[in-house]
A and B are shown apart, each in its own frame.
Chain A
Amino acid sequence: DQQVKQNSPSLSVQEGRISILNCDYTNSMFDYFLWYKKYPAEGPTFLISISSIKDKNEDGRFTVFLNKSAKHLSLHIVPSQPGDSAVYFCAAQGRGFKTIFGAGTRLFVKA
């Protein structure tokens, strides 16, 4: 079941620079997308979401972009901070569907 794909297992970024995490999906029935952040030994915590009727949603340092035609979304973090170091999961929902998660991307923000 690879409906939500995060092809980069890890990403390393310098503090203060932009982090871009990517996610692709295959099921065109998905129409709500979420990003979760996970620290070791903790559960995933919600970060930001976007509905398929939008192409951008911004919340402070976090912006999610959605390209529906490409079935691609990305999370931008700017400026990146060492405390952002965590695993980031992309997730997708469709009406009547369970929330499906990608494999995650581990972000390292170097001071």
Chain B
Amino acid sequence: EPEVTQTPSHQVTQMGQEVILRCVPISNHLYFYWYRQILGQKVEFLVSFYNNEISEKSEIFDDQFSVERPDGSNFTLKIRSTKLEDSAMYFCASSTTSFGGELFFGEGSRLTVL
């Protein structure tokens, strides 16, 4: 069964460092998303991406964040200068539709900022 894969599974970084989280969405999906979950809290929307551009982003997704689909298969989330409060589980998801369908999630990348 096709699945969303994410790497790395866990990354530890120093505050101020750049981090890139990678995702390979399901191949025939058109919509891509990043969500995050701070420990014990709800799953929060960060950004959605369609047709090679951001379709929506949350207030969390500030100038420190960027997304890219560099080669037609990978979908990356970059955090330019990490802060302590960026420590969270980051989930990539993909879907065939923007409405009325499920999102398929990867297993997540745990980011720990020291």
Indicate, yes or no, whether A interacts with B: yes
Are A93 and B45 neighbours in the complex by a CB distance under 8 Å? no
Say whether B4 contacts A103, CB under 8 Å.
no
**Known contacts A89-B43, A101-B43, A43 near B100 by CB under 8 Å:** no
* Per-residue interface assignment for chain B, residues 23 to 35, with 1 indicating a CB less than 8 Å from any chain A CB and 0 otherwise: 0000000000101
CB-CB contacts of B95-109 with A at 8 A, as 1s and 0s? 000111011111110
Please give, as numbers and ranges, the residues of chain A lying within 8 Å of B75 by CB-CB distance: none
List the B side residues contacting A96 at CB < 8 Å. Answer: 98-99
Chain B residue nearest in CB terms to A103: B42
- Name the interface size band of chain B: 20 to 34
Q: Taking the complex as formed, is A63 at the interface, i.e. its CB lies under 8 A from any CB of chain B?
A: no
For B99, give its contact among A45, A93, A101 (CB under 8 Å): A93
Contacts of A94 in B (CB 8 A): 99
A27-38 Cβ-contact flags toward B at 8 Å (1 or 0): 000001010100
Contact of B105 among A43, A95, A102 (CB under 8 A): A43
Residues of B within 8 A of A43 (CB): 4, 91, 93, 105-108
Which of the residues B4, B58, B100, B105 comes within 8 Å of A32, measured between beta carbons?
A: B100
Whether B41 is near chain A, meaning CB under 8 Å from some CB there, is: yes
